[in-house]
A and B are shown apart, each in its own frame.
Chain A
Amino acid sequence: MLLNTLLAFVGALRAAGVNLSPSSVIDAGAALASIDLLDREVLRSALAATLIKDQSSLAIFNRLFDVFFSVGSRSGADQDEEEELVEAIRDALLAQDYERLGELVGQAVERFAGVSPERPVSGVYYAYRTARGLDIDRLRFELLAGLATQQQGDPVSVFDDADFEATQRLKALTSAIDREVLARVVEARGAAEVARTLGLHLPEDVEIMHASREELRELRRIVTPLAVKLTAKLERRHRAHNAGRLDFRATIRRSLSTGGVPLDPVTRDDRPMRPEVVLLADVSGSVASFARFTMQLLFALSHELRRLRSFAFIDEVDEVTELLGGGRDIEVALRSVAQSAKVVGLVGHSDYGATFRHFDERYSAAISPSTTLIICGDARSNYHDPEELHFRAFAERAKATYWLNPEPKGYWNTGDSTMASYSSWCGSVVECRTLRQLEHFVEQIL
């Protein structure tokens, strides 16, 4: 029974893209034999220690663990009136009594969500209904008031901790609701079925254009560590590439200590050819987050590049190299790109044709025969003239031109997408929907 659950759990983890070797499954089985299975937290820790091998899959693990090893609280004490229930929840939050909170949330879900096995929804709907039933906004307000009275005893309450505290505690409430709803949905429809409808992905595999706010936050967090790892990988590659090229002078110098016999040959450590990159990124609404990650990743890798110039555009193009540089926080810098760069001309919708015309007129000196030109955007030009001649003028001059398109290949050249007008002047057009694809591309060109 337990083994079957474990195997189904492993199956769901694999389906979500987590890499699991048979030996770790065996370890997990062995671990189950030696721990206290009734302690849920211990069970979770034991499975995490044996099954998971890197941090990026932990989030998926935790979510699926809730699905497969869920226990909803089943306290039938339903005598409370709606009003009393809300009050009890507020008091539990104020007292940070999370055990009581769990019970109360169980009642709330029972009352408000109306879980029925027929509806093929993943639970977001029920969680929403529960939150609405509890009137979270009012609860927040009351929580703030409650926290303020609690802090009265404090001599100096200068920083508004209350706001942060209230947010933290509401987070505890919403995650309790999510867990509870999940437990009920699983009960109604079976764990494997629910795991499928959740549609979980590793952060690297999330489609950037359709990512939720939470997912974008997670992505933002992993871009810089990703760049660090990529740098290490590139350096290793350069080193392996150079190994074997003899440095004659250094070898002779070293041979002096062994009486002129070159016992220990020295190999040359060449500086690798660092490309000079010009990035031209569409920052309009639909593809803004994609542009953002490309900028962030290239910026984090800029010591691997001879030079990096970045331009942002919507229907007007502006250089943002200065805004991104200067040792400022990349988050702040990217925000200032949105605020102070002149990227909006007449209409404020993407106009690739006008952009390339302006770029050709104003910044054509930026492109030399040693430049690698990277354009990122979906080539959706809102039915404006693509003006491919201007694009051709500078794209042909560059050493290499790459176009990163965040849309699936099947969508190119449909509707107002003018990918075909440009693709013949590009060295290659790359489909770049996820961070993993972006990383792969960058690794290829560096």
Chain B
Amino acid sequence: MYLQSQKEVSDSLSQVGYLPSTEIATAVFLATKLSKPILVEGPAGTGKTELAKALSKAFSLELIRLQCYEGLDESRALYEWDYRKQLLALQAHADREVQSIFSSEFLLERPLLAALRGGAEKILLIDEVDRLEVETEALLLEVLAEFQVTVPELGTVVATSKPIVVLTSNGMRELSEALKRRALYLYLDYPSQARELDIVRTAIPGIEETLAERLVSIVARLRSMDLKKSPSIAETLDWGRSLLALSVESLDDEILASTLPILLKNRADIERALKELLPRVS
């Protein structure tokens, strides 16, 4: 895909309701320029997976998703031979050459291969790479660096058009150097207050201005508190929507105390936050 500047990325993403920071827009722009995957790390709920989805929407490209988990292997990530079909073909034509059943018509595409084949450019989302074992990680390397897959019986499948690859990680373990070296790095932190306010406004159109400001400022305070789990953007939005549904116009102590569990999911955190936010109540 040809893009003029990071501004173009930023505009297109904003149009589909994903407000990117300069970092995000620049990283995506460079990914298309240098044909490199983007490795996105950061706390849960800061829009890592959402970025790939928004890209697919913004540029109308098909999104192919590979969800990683322990035990994911070649046959589920890359390709598999459709042995049932192969058996049938052999039975139907007994004189068939064995070699002929290893052709692309018997190949079952899995996400990585699917992203390379089929002509049109695609977005490939490889979600939660840190869940893979180190050994399996190597599976990805050929795809990420060369945009190709080698099938021993068939030869090398080279991408007809290079996909935009987004890898996400929650930092459960250190990713291998080999993988990191092949990717651009983007750390998605919690957004600045101003950007979060924009996000709230865009995602919850009905919200009142002062309430939105209040909301964002309280979330910012909570994040500065060293909690076990800080509230994510998704949780801020949930909170805003709940307040709207409860037709709350302005926050007060009581509403804050009773709706705090939408933001914080941990008892110790809630207690601590209440103590600091509302010293008089508790």
**Which residues from chain A sit less than 8 Å from chain B, CB to CB?**
21, 23-24, 27, 30-31, 34-36, 39, 41-42, 45-46, 48-50, 52-55, 58, 154-156, 158-159, 161, 164-165, 168, 220-221, 225, 228-229, 232-233, 236, 327-329, 331-332
Contacts and interface: CB of A to CB of B under 8 A. Distances in A.
A125 B120 CA distance: 59
A228 B184 contact: no
Contacts of A55: 41-42, 171, 187
A34 B33 contact: yes
B28 to A, nearest CB: 9
A41 B210 CA distance: 29
B160 to A, nearest CB: 24
Contacts of A30: 33-34
Contacts of A220: 226
B44 to A, nearest CB: 13
B217 A161 contact: yes
B75 to A, nearest CB: 16
User: Chain B interface residue count: which class?
Assistant: 35 or more
Given A35-B6, A165-B217, A45 B23 contact: yes
Nearest to B38: A49
Q: Which of A46, A52, A221, A236 has most chain B Cβ within 10 Å? A: A46
B252 interface: yes
B30 A34 contact: yes
Contacts of A45: 6, 22-23, 25-27
Given A159-B218, A229-B173, A328-B268, A27 B184 contact: yes
How would you classify the secondary structure of chain A's contact residues: helix, strand, loop or mixed? helix
A158 B277 CA distance: 10
A52 B210 contact: no
Contact of A158 (B133, B193, B253): B253
B84 interface: no
B93 interface: no
How would you classify the secondary structure of chain B's contact residues: helix, strand, loop or mixed? helix
A168 B223 CA distance: 13
A165 B177 CA distance: 41
Q: Which of B29, B177, B193, B218 has most chain A Cβ within 10 Å? A: B29
B181 A53 contact: yes
28 contacts: A21-B181, A23-B181, A24-B181, A27-B184, A34-B30, A35-B5, A35-B26, A42-B26, A45-B23, A46-B26, A48-B23, A48-B185, A49-B23, A49-B38, A53-B185, A54-B41, A154-B210, A156-B251, A158-B251, A159-B218, A159-B278, A161-B217, A161-B221, A165-B217, A168-B220, A232-B172, A233-B173, A329-B228
B95 to A, nearest CB: 31
Interface in B84-132: none
Interface string B183-214: 01111000001000000000000000010001
Nearest to A34: B33
Contact of B250 (A155, A232, A233): A155
Interface in B1-41: 5-6, 22-23, 25-27, 29-30, 33-34, 36, 38, 41
Contact of B185 (A52, A229, A328): A52
A49 B218 CA distance: 31
A446 B222 CA distance: 36
Contacts of B210: 154
Contacts of A161: 214, 217-218, 221
